[in-house]
Structure 1
């Protein structure tokens, strides 16, 4: 399973008022390059951020192989998920509360996509929340009034409520996406989440090699039984080649981040590895 922010993926023409004027419109060659990277990633489940429409996503995750589901937010930056055909998907009510902007706000925030995956091999269910939180408070102290920190903290409180519900239900779950926060085990926001529900931050203690290296803001968190399904040392970051600045604008400023899970089969209790290869690159 992977998470990938696709950086304003849209089919809108130049000059469309829904997009900022500095957003580069990708041409067919750019979409073809992204599709080749997606094929190389070869993930069964991909959490998506900054995708405008299902049609745009389908150029990268083709319909014969993947089902794409996006939120219905009234903005061009939707979150969503691409799920390999053969995995049953139950769509749960969106976590619209993550859009903490007032109703009359000029710019709204993104809601969360909430789905439950049913393994066709007879294994256990996995509940997944895909998110894209407010940017600007990457590692600032939470007492800061600027840098979007109050908004991010409000979103984390909503996220904490969702996690608590999954903890009470006892269902295996994952939260993945662009947190816009350089989460570590020592981060107060991560500690607040774990105080109520122990979770595994799969990116903990690692540096992200994407586009020359940085700290992770794209994360995959696992809770309840999903923590036990994580394959050790399976964290991967798929890098783009060549790693040139002009390519970043035409591909994405985020690289796909992935882990592998071994889901136990319901019939025998033995481990079943989902189809699909590891993402390439360094974790």
Structure 2
């Protein structure tokens, strides 16, 4: 009996017996609690579909984008999570129709602290989104910094100087690089995840990913892209004449990036895209992005 008791205590405290931590990212495409002219009109069935995919993935920490309010994210995530919404949501200058915010949904019971947002509004137009910054204390007592991003759209593969969008994305990359340098100097584990609006697995025009690393690559602190393979994310498109057509995104623009310290805890081949079927995408008002996730040892 005493042996069984000791064995039970051992398995409840040993680090390698801890459940893995599932982190993920999802851009919800204009998710609002009130009807909006900007995004899809959604009903209870749509919210149920969202929630079903989240339950399937068993997400512990979800980085989200394009969420209009805490009430809006509650409709798809439920009450089992603490919500950290970008500080920009509470800034009077950001009020109005452009209510797209980043943030985190953190499973209740997880221990974390909130850091100030990383301001990525490089054009000073109150439309570019802040990155939300939290620091998790895992069940094993280790610290993990997480940054939720939603970067400038319109520069998926082009060169740095080819357009205003690409120049904006480059300025955001410089600010992200500074954040990365600070984390590496402090020897912190970190993950950056969200909608980068950039096809970083594209073999050409890799300037954006190189800017994030810069000298960090030479210092062996390089970033690791966890995504692999092709995306199979369906989206429903509706034009001004209410014509509907379907398209499949085969290259990722949503990513999970880790430094070497955090990648050491990554559970091999646990990266997953939870993609709705073509049928489900056509019959429900979901998102033009899909949920991605990965598992980490705690």
Distance in 2 of aligned mates of 1:70 and 1:54: 7
The answer to whether 1:159 aligns with 2:176 is: yes
Unaligned residue ranges in structure 1 (runs of 5+): 264-283
Q: 2:64 aligns to what?
A: 48
TM-superposition CA deviations, 1:205-251 (whole Å, max 9, x none): x2111113411100000014101011111111002135455346x11
Are 2:114 and 2:135, in contact at CA under 8 Å, matched by a contact in 1? yes
2:296 is paired with a residue whose SS is coil
TM-score (norm 2): 0.79
The residue that corresponds to 1:214 in the other structure is 250
Q: How does 1:7-156 map to 2 (within 5 A)?
A: 7-14=29-36, 19-20=37-38, 23-63=39-79, 65-73=80-88, 74=94, 75-96=98-119, 98-102=120-124, 105=125, 108-119=127-138, 121-146=139-164, 148-156=165-173
The alignment's C-alpha RMSD in Å is 1.7
Greater helix share, 1 or 2?
2
Equivalent residue number for residue 275 of structure 1: none
Larger Rg: 2
* SS state at 1:260 partner: strand
Distance 2:141 2:66 in 1: 31
Q: 1:247 to 1:159 in 2, by over 3 A?
A: farther
Change (3 A) 1:223 1:185: farther
Distance 2:249 2:160 in 1: 25
Q: Deviations over 1:140-195 (max 9, x none)?
A: 0112134x100000000000000000011101000000000001385122123233
1:185·1:191 contact (CA, 8 Å) conserved in 2? no
For the 8 Å contact 1:10–1:56, the answer to whether it is kept is yes
Query: Residue 202 of structure 1 aligns with which residue?
Result: 226
Q: State the alpha-carbon separation in 1 of the partners of residues 176 and 283 from structure 2.
A: 34
Distance 1:181 1:242, change over 3 A: closer
Number of equivalences: 248
Change (3 A) 1:247 1:131: farther
Cα separation, 1, equivalents of 2:78 and 2:43: 17
Alpha carbons 1:170, 1:224 under 8 Å: kept: no
Give 5+ residue unaligned stretches, structure 2: 1-22, 89-93, 235-247
> Does the 8 Å CA contact 1:126/1:172 hold for their aligned counterparts?
yes
